[in-house]
Structure formats: structure tokens, C-alpha cells
A and B are shown apart, each in its own frame.
Chain A
Amino acid sequence: MFIGISAYNHESAIALVDESGTLINYYREESLSRIKGDKSFPKRGLKRIIKLHELENDSINSVIFYERPLSSFLFPLKEATKYLPESMNLMVHQIRNFNKSSLSCYIDLAKYCPGLEKKLIYTDHHLSHTLTSIAYSNKQENLCSIVVDGFGDRSTSSISYVKDKYNIKELWSSNYPASLGLFYSTITDFLGFSINEGEYKVMGLSAFGKSESKEAKLITRLIRWDKCKNEIIMDLTYFSFHKSITNSYNHKLKDLLGEPRNPFAKLQPGDKYFQRYANIARGAQDITNEILSEIFKFAYQITKSNHFLFSGGVALNSSSIEYLANLEFVKSIIIPPSPGDSGAAIGASYFGYLKSNLKNKSIDKPKLYPSEYSCIEQRDHIKKILDTKFRVVTNKEDESIDLACKLISQGEVIGVIISNGETGPRALGNRSLICNGSNKHSVNVLNTLIKSRSPFRPTAPAMRKHIAEKYFQLNPAIMDSYNSMNATCRSKKDSISITYPITHIDGTARLQIVQDNTILWNILERLENMGIEILANSSLNISGDPTCFDIIDGLMVCSIAPLNYLLTDLGMIKKR
């Protein structure tokens, strides 16, 4: 068994790969701790994996940490020395908190699983990302891997040529602090959203902005691609993230773009400053698209491969994916369902597997729902909660699905907690809130009343493939991405879906093509006969919380939000 760990920088996670190269379990720590963005050592995930799979130290071949701790500690620190004394606070903070950085992986592992620290090995941050992508790719040879994130353990973006899974050669990288990810996070911060959390809000907002606006044009001064030197050039005089603990930008950016947005102010189309913020978001999205396409062009030039793997936090930008897939030289782009750091735990565990002495090693494409769980494990435990506050309408699977369809057709929003959880961050049906995707009222209830989302953010649709082909302009280069909601897609001209509330103002939707034998497939199969072809699908949680993991989390959402039904492994549950 091989245990991969990612932690300390972004959402932490743990992955378990067996000796036949199959991912058999995976948990994001936030799912278990219930703290969104939890980046601490994944102790709960580790405990659960050890218990469920009855692991002993002897049965574990290796534990793999997803980056080189000393590099990830030293590179930003060395950069900060250039800005002394301004960066003094940052440096003192980093040095004093070394025990909360990657450097403490060894100590934490020894604390929670004594003895296991002897089996700890390390891999490069961007290699972990690449290996995660390889795992999800049907083709595993002659690929070009592009990783773009905030900061890894030495670079902020890189291009590698994957000859095969044992030969992965890095050909180009961009060094800290020039970082497309950190640029996008700074704009996120400037627009009043939280870094590492609000980036997708910027993306949603950008659809309302105008590329030819003054603000969007000004953004081009911050970051660009140098075509002669083939590198990312960032004008650091506008930024502070590399020398300050509290500020990602400085007064110069304020002078350029005007007053930053108050994080507590409502943001609604038509408001006084809405257009200005939307234009800033548009500018950030445009420059991101442009730099990414330059990286892809350059990557194609140096690797000669037109099959791409794309990962790192920036690969979560679903709107860019659509843009990149339209570049004429691109044959295919594979993006793992969790392209950010939490997904890199999967690549780390495969690193251990590939480095082991086992024979005939092959990597099995991981399932979209790897987090092992069933509501049945908590059936007796929640008896009194169910008896007092809820009612099991039916415990038969077939009847539950029929009832779910009937309720959806009547405009109801349904919560789903069925068997294993998703890799995250996107809910793909097993931990979802769903309703009729063409019913404006239902989608509005889901979006604003249950989830308290800003009205400018669209809810994603889920449908079967033939329906997606009917309404949307699917791009064959990124077919796999549609299974995991990784890419946006344009509605066909004059198609009715443009008027649906799941379609964004710019005519795109971040659609999910549901896979066979999943709960959404079963529901949609029946709903299509009732005239409903598209579901709105959003993660099951309330604002500020991580996606639900177990049935207790689901019942809690029902208790505090206007959600009446929960479809579970125990049947259909109704709030009293």
C-alpha cells in the first residue's frame, strides 16, 4: 500500500494506492474536519484509512509527501531577503512558523503514526501534479504536461515531456515570484474575495465585464508573456505577496485600478460599481487566457506533443480550459478532477508505487468517487435524530429515485448523500443539491436561499451525453473534462438552453456529462421521460462550509437551510 499526502499549503488530502496501481481511497481533510480549506496534516484522513483498510506499518510500502519541504520553505524566504527591511515581518513570521510548514511532515507523521515516518519519501511538487494527471489519462506516453499554480516547491509553472511514466523530463519552468496563480489570487483579494477560496467568483464575475473597457486594459500592465525570452514577466511593483504577510497588493495597484472592493458590500449586476469590478475580473481572465495559451504554444513547440496534461490550481479555471481547447494545435487536454494541491496526493501515492520494486506496474484510471463511505455505517447512530426531526419516506432505492424525480418535476430542490464521495472540489452528484435546471424559481431557491451565493454566479448543469450534444458545442479535445465539470462550454446558437438559469450571461455553462451507473444518470434517465433533460447541480453545503461528507452533515444542512428532502443510502428522508 502507498499513502500519498498533500498538506500545509492548500487543502490537505490523503490518497491510498494498492499494489495493483488502483486508487482505493482518498479523503480531503476538510471533508472530515468540516473546516473549509483545512490545510493541516491530514490526521483524520490517515486515521480513517488505517482503520477501514486495517493497515499496519508492515503493510505500508511507503508514505509519500507531495513536495520537497526544504525547497518550499527556502525559495520564498530567499526571495524575501531581496526586500529587507520591508519584508522583515514576513521573514520573521515564516521562520517562527516553520513547524506549520511542509518541514513538519516528518514530525507530524511520527506523532500520529509512530514508525511510519521511517517510510517517508518526497517527490517534486509539480511532479506530483503531473502524476495525478497521468493517472486520469488513457494515453500515458508522449504527453506534454503543463503545471500552473501559485507556487510549488521551486517554480510557479512548468512544462515537462512525459515519454512514459518513468521518464518525465522538465523542459521549462517559471520561477517564484512571477506567478500566474498568485496574480489571479491578488485580483481575487482586490475584488474583496478570500484568496484560495474566491478565485472562481472572479471567473464568474468576468462574464459581465468588457474586454475593451479601461480597467480590463490596465490589467495588462501587471503581467505578460515575453515572446522572445519565453517567460512570464510580472511587474512586482504592484504586488506585495512576496514581502508581506497581510497584503497581496499595494497602493500602486490602488492608484491604477481605483479603490478595492469592500468584502462585505453586496455585489449585484446593476449596482454602482458592479461594472468596474466586472471589468477588472474580465481583464484578469483575458490575460490569464492569453498567458496560458502562450505557455501551451511554447510547450507544443518544445515537446512536439499535442496531447496535453494540465494541472495545478490555475487548471481549476474552467473558463480558460474552453479557450485552450480551441487552440488549433491541441488534440486533447486531460485535467484531473482535482487539479489543485489536494489532488496532488494522488500523484504522490503513484510516485511511491512507480518507485517500488513491484513488477509489471500499471496505473488504473481512478474513479470519480474515491472517498469511501456509506450512510449505512451511521444508521444506528442517527436513529434518534431521524426519528425526532426527520421521516424516512421510503427506504427502497427504486421508490426513492422515483420520488426524487417526482419532487424535482414539482420544482423541489433535493440534497443527495449517496455512497462514496467525490475527489472534490466539484460535486458530481453523490454530494449534491439538485433541481430542475430549466426552472428559474428552483435554481434561484438552490442558489440564493439554500447556498447564499452571490446572484452573479451561475449554477452548473448536469445532463446525459446526448442532451449535451443537442444543446452545447462540445469540444472533442476535452471530453473527459465534461465528466468532472472541469470546463465551460458554449450553448448552441438559438438553442433553448441559452434561456435556462444554468447558462451564464455569456452563453456558457460549466456542464457535467453524467456517467453511466451513477445516481444522476438514474435520475436523469427517468426525468427525460417526464420532459426534464437538465439538472442544476451544486455542492451540498451551506455557505462557508466544505461539501458534506456524511449523512450527519447532510441532515445538518436540511436543519439550517430551507431544504426538505435528502436522498441517501437509507432511502428518501424528509424534514418534519
Chain B
Amino acid sequence: MSASEILEILHETIYAEHGSALEMLAACKQTKSTSLAYGYFEHAKDEYNHTKTFKEILSNKSYNCYVDIVRKFRITPIGLITKGYVSRKGYLIETMNLKDFIAYVYTNELLAETSFAKIKKLLGPNNKDSNRISNIMDDELRHHGMAKEYFLKYYPELQPWQLLYYKTKETIKNKTRKLYHKNIIFLEKIFFPLYSLLTLISSRLLIILNLTEYKRTDCNLMDINARSIL
């Protein structure tokens, strides 16, 4: 894997970790129970620390690279939304019921742990960052364990095999998400000529459109029609 591809993975991981920190913080604020609030608070704290660690790793790998390559790996929080790590609809706790939410945490923590194992491998053995990633993996397993414990305590009618069901469901969802993403990129390529054609047609219209008619010079701005969008 090329250096740039590794940077790309670290870059995405930072958003994923920051996204989970925010999901947990939102859960901490929304939950009705003070003890759950405490649990989510501690979980969010871990995720913030993971984010910080991955940011440092990315920085250390990028500062003496060619500027044109690393410019695109700058972290801008707004990317959490544009890249889909936080849904435009809101945080999971705002859109899911509690049971599904906890099942989601239960599965995703495990999936996160697996993906960090891959990153650790990519960075190579005896890497000074290896230890830090191992610690993060421990955290993820702990989060997974906590969610499982909570799940079995509050939903005792749910048996471990049902947790397995949730896990399979979430794994499939994740896979389809990736597949969907790949498809989207593929479709984008196919449809680009069509979009371009549409853009060319609209550009013809835009060229004839005379926007100077809507100039404001010498107008009382308070008198302009408040229903007009132009």
C-alpha cells in the first residue's frame, strides 16, 4: 500500500473516531438515566482521546511529505457531515430507539477493533505507534463488553444468539454501505457525461440570464419584496 493510501486510511479513521466521540456525547446528553449518562461520558472521553492519537499519527507521517499530496488530508470538522460520519438527519440517539442504539454500539466497537488491527499491521511491526493503537483496541473491546453487559442486563429476554443476529445485521449493513459507496463512485463516473451535458445546457441559459437587472444600487433595501428568492 502506498504512503498516500495509508494517510488516507488514517484521515478517514480520525473522522470515524471523532464521529463516535460526538455520537457518545450526544447520547450522554440525551439519555434519561444518570448512570447511562456517566457511561456514555466515559465512552466519549475515550473516543476523543483516540481521535487525538490518530491526529498525532497522521501529523507525524505528513509533515515532511509533498504539500500537494497532504493538503487534502487536513482535518476540518465539517467533514464529519460531508463525509457522512455524522448523519445530516442527526445523531443516532436522536433517530434510533435505545435498544437498537446499544446494539449498534455493541457491534461497531467490535468492528472498530478489527479495523484498527489492520491499521496496526499497515504501520508495520515495532512501530512506535503500535502500542498506542493496541491501547485503543483494548478500549474498543472494553466498550464492546460494556454494551454487551448492559444489553444482557436490561434486555434479559435477549439471548447471546440474538446479539449475534444484531452483529450479523450490522456487519451486512456496513458491507452494503461500502458496496453502495463503491457503486456510487462507479455510477458517478458513468453519469458524469450526462451531468456535464446538463451543466452545459444550464450554462447556456445562465449566459443569457441577465442578473444585472437585479442590481441593488440606489435601492432602499428594506423595500425589496420579502417573498422574492432572487
Report the bound CA distance from A382 to B34 in whole Å. 6
Cβ distance A345 to chain B, nearest Cβ, rounded Å: 16
Interface check A75, CB cutoff 8 A = yes
Question: A194 near B227 (CB under 8 angstroms)?
Answer: no
Question: A262 near B65 (CB under 8 angstroms)?
Answer: yes
Interface check B199, CB cutoff 8 A = yes
Cβ distance A247 to chain B, nearest Cβ, rounded Å: 9
Q: Which of A167, A197, A355, A542 contacts B226 (CB 8 A)?
A: A355
Cβ distance B134 to chain A, nearest Cβ, rounded Å: 20
Cβ distance B135 to chain A, nearest Cβ, rounded Å: 15
Interface check B219, CB cutoff 8 A = yes
Question: B78 near A81 (CB under 8 angstroms)?
Answer: no
Which positions 212-253 of chain A face chain B at CB distance < 8 Å? 246
Report the bound CA distance from A169 to B25 in whole Å. 47
Q: A262: which B residues are within 8 A, CB to CB?
A: 62-65, 67, 70
User: 1/0 per residue A138-179: CB within 8 Å of B?
Assistant: 000000000000000011001010000111111111000000
Cβ distance B223 to chain A, nearest Cβ, rounded Å: 9
Cβ distance A348 to chain B, nearest Cβ, rounded Å: 11
Question: B41 near A555 (CB under 8 angstroms)?
Answer: yes
Q: Which of B72, B78, B214 contacts A71 (CB 8 A)?
A: B214
Known: A36-B77, A71-B230. A384 touches B45 (CB 8 A): no
Known: A88-B196, A92-B192, A262-B64. A34 touches B218 (CB 8 A): no
How many chain A residues touch B (CB < 8 A): the figure is 80
Q: A259: which B residues are within 8 A, CB to CB?
A: 67
Known: A160-B221, A169-B218. A382 touches B37 (CB 8 A): yes
Q: Name A130's closest neighbour in chain B (CB-CB).
A: B221
Interface check A115, CB cutoff 8 A = no
Interface check A123, CB cutoff 8 A = yes
Question: B226 near A260 (CB under 8 angstroms)?
Answer: no
Known: A262-B63, A552-B41. 12 other contacts (CB 8 A): A33-B86, A38-B78, A38-B81, A40-B81, A69-B229, A75-B211, A121-B226, A124-B216, A194-B74, A355-B226, A385-B41, A560-B48
Q: A51: which B residues are within 8 A, CB to CB?
A: none
Cβ distance A64 to chain B, nearest Cβ, rounded Å: 8
Question: A91 near B203 (CB under 8 angstroms)?
Answer: yes
Question: B214 near A36 (CB under 8 angstroms)?
Answer: no
User: 1/0 per residue B44-64: CB within 8 Å of A?
Assistant: 110011001000001100111
Cβ distance A543 to chain B, nearest Cβ, rounded Å: 9
Cβ distance A32 to chain B, nearest Cβ, rounded Å: 9
Interface check A359, CB cutoff 8 A = no
Question: A124 near B90 (CB under 8 angstroms)?
Answer: no
Known: A170-B221, A381-B37. A39 touches B229 (CB 8 A): no
Interface check B105, CB cutoff 8 A = no
Q: A40: which B residues are within 8 A, CB to CB?
A: 81, 88
Q: A542: which B residues are within 8 A, CB to CB?
A: 48
Interface check A77, CB cutoff 8 A = yes
Question: B219 near A122 (CB under 8 angstroms)?
Answer: no
Report the bound CA distance from A122 to B226 in whole Å. 5
Report the bound CA distance from A511 to B71 in whole Å. 34
Can you list 6 A-B pairs with a CB-CB distance of less than 8 A?
A: A33-B86, A40-B81, A160-B221, A168-B220, A266-B63, A552-B41
Q: Name B39's closest neighbour in chain A (CB-CB).
A: A384
Interface check A562, CB cutoff 8 A = no
Interface check A380, CB cutoff 8 A = yes
Q: B72: which A residues are within 8 A, CB to CB?
A: 246
Interface check A358, CB cutoff 8 A = no
Report the bound CA distance from A112 to B215 in whole Å. 33
Question: A383 near B34 (CB under 8 angstroms)?
Answer: yes
Q: A544: which B residues are within 8 A, CB to CB?
A: 75, 77
Q: A34: which B residues are within 8 A, CB to CB?
A: 22, 25-26
Cβ distance A6 to chain B, nearest Cβ, rounded Å: 15
Known: A78-B206, A81-B203, A91-B199. A263 touches B219 (CB 8 A): no
Which positions 58-109 of chain A face chain B at CB distance < 8 Å? 64, 68-71, 74-75, 77-78, 81, 84, 88, 91-92, 95-96, 103
Interface check B80, CB cutoff 8 A = yes
Interface check B187, CB cutoff 8 A = no
Of all A-B residue pairs in the complex, the 9 with the closest CB atoms, nearest first, are: A384-B38, A264-B62, A121-B226, A264-B63, A36-B77, A70-B229, A81-B203, A127-B221, A70-B230
Q: A560: which B residues are within 8 A, CB to CB?
A: 45, 48-49, 52
Interface check A388, CB cutoff 8 A = yes
Cβ distance A281 to chain B, nearest Cβ, rounded Å: 17
Q: A158: which B residues are within 8 A, CB to CB?
A: 216
Report the bound CA distance from A382 to B192 in whole Å. 51
Question: B224 near A124 (CB under 8 angstroms)?
Answer: yes
Interface check A326, CB cutoff 8 A = no
